[in-house]
């Protein structure tokens, strides 16, 4: 599959009859567009995970209007809270007997440090209180880059541990979404988000194609990183470091012991 619009969600996504789909952040942006596109192919259930029903109501109504035969359900989920993640997981598992597509779409960008009660920042950074007085502050871009690197490494290791699953990380490209509205006060990031992105960014419809392709196409290689649309990305040297991927996996397992 090449760059651009070769992948057509309406034409190329197969029937999803009987499938159960869960999309985090499915109420806005790429998540909402993905939900709309997937709903056209008649899945059995389409779950929209968002922080509140109020945030999801409009998107759910739009999906139901487009695909009235699809059962669209809301799942309350705040990814900045481990307690919320646990509650949402239990609620979801008690309601379904299967999960065919999990699209981890929710995200934030260019926000200031914002740890949850466990000390984990929502962009993937860890807040080490005891080091704050001596450590050099990590910039917004560094925190964001760290989270993206962790995504790629974790997916590669997840594929090794669970070969029965097909997992992939994707880069949607530069997309005009509400994500661009958030910033940490940096004038450079603000200019990029508010001036440059609207000039060079693709539409939400175009941007969603990468994750729609990865979720539904045949031939997706588990553990791979893809750029638009369906093209294997080389990634950085660090993102291909198998030892680093294992180190991240082991660290994550240890850190989550007290939460699960």
Say whether pLDDT at 191 is over 60. yes
Say whether pLDDT at 30 is over 60. yes
Say whether pLDDT at 159 is over 90. yes
Q: Work out the percent of the chain whose per-residue pLDDT is above 90.
A: 68
Residue in 187, 214, 10 with CA at minimum distance from that of residue 110: 187
Cα separation values, 245 from 76, 148, 238, Å: 30, 13, 9
When pLDDT is averaged across residues 12-21 and rounded to a whole number, the result is 98
Cα separation values, 226 from 62, 220, 222, 229, Å: 29, 9, 11, 7
Residue in 152, 231, 167, 212 with CA at minimum distance from that of residue 26: 212
The string of pLDDT tens digits covering residues 106-119 is 876 555 555 555 55
For the entire predicted model, the pTM comes to: 0.85
pLDDT band at 129 (very low <50, low <70, confident <90, very high): very low
Say whether pLDDT at 127 is over 50. no
Q: Which residue has the higher pLDDT, 70 or 121?
A: 70
**Contact criterion met (CB below 8 Å) for 7 and 230:** yes
Q: Which residue has the higher pLDDT, 235 or 119?
A: 235
Structure-token pair, residue 150: 């962790």
Domains of the chain: 9-256 (3.40.50.720)
- Lowest mean per-residue pLDDT among 12-21, 122-131, 154-163, 203-212: 122-131
């Amino acid at each position: 599959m090449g760059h651009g619009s070769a992948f057509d969600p309406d034409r190329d996504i197969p029937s999803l009859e009987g499938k159960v789909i869960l999309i985090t952040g499915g109420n806005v942006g790429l998540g909402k567009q993905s939900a709309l596109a997937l709903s056209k192919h008649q899945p059995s259930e389409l779950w929209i995970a968002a922080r509140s029903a109020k945030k999801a109501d409009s998107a759910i109504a739009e999906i139901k209007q487009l695909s009235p035969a699809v059962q669209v359900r809301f799942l309350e989920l705040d990814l900045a809270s481990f307690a919320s993640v646990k509650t949402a997981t239990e609620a979801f598992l008690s309601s379904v007997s299967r999960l065919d597509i999990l699209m981890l779409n929710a995200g934030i960008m260019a926000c200031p440090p914002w740890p949850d009660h466990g000390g984990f920042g929502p962009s993937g950074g860890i807040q080490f209180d005891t080091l704050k007085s001596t450590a050099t502050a990590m910039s917004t871009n560094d925190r964001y880059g760290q989270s993206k690197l962790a995504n790629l490494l974790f997916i590669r290791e997840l594929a090794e541990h669970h070969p029965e699953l097909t997992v992939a990380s994707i880069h949607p490209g530069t997309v005009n979404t509400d994500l661009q509205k958030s910033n940490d006060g940096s004038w450079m990031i603000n200019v990029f988000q508010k001036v440059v992105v609207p000039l060079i960014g693709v539409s939400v419809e175009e941007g969603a194609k990468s994750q729609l392709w990865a979720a539904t196409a045949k031939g997706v290689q588990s553990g791979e990183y893809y750029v638009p649309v369906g093209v294997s990305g080389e990634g950085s040297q660090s993102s291909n470091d198998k030892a680093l991927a294992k180190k991240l996996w082991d660290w994550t397992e240890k850190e989550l012991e007290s939460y699960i």
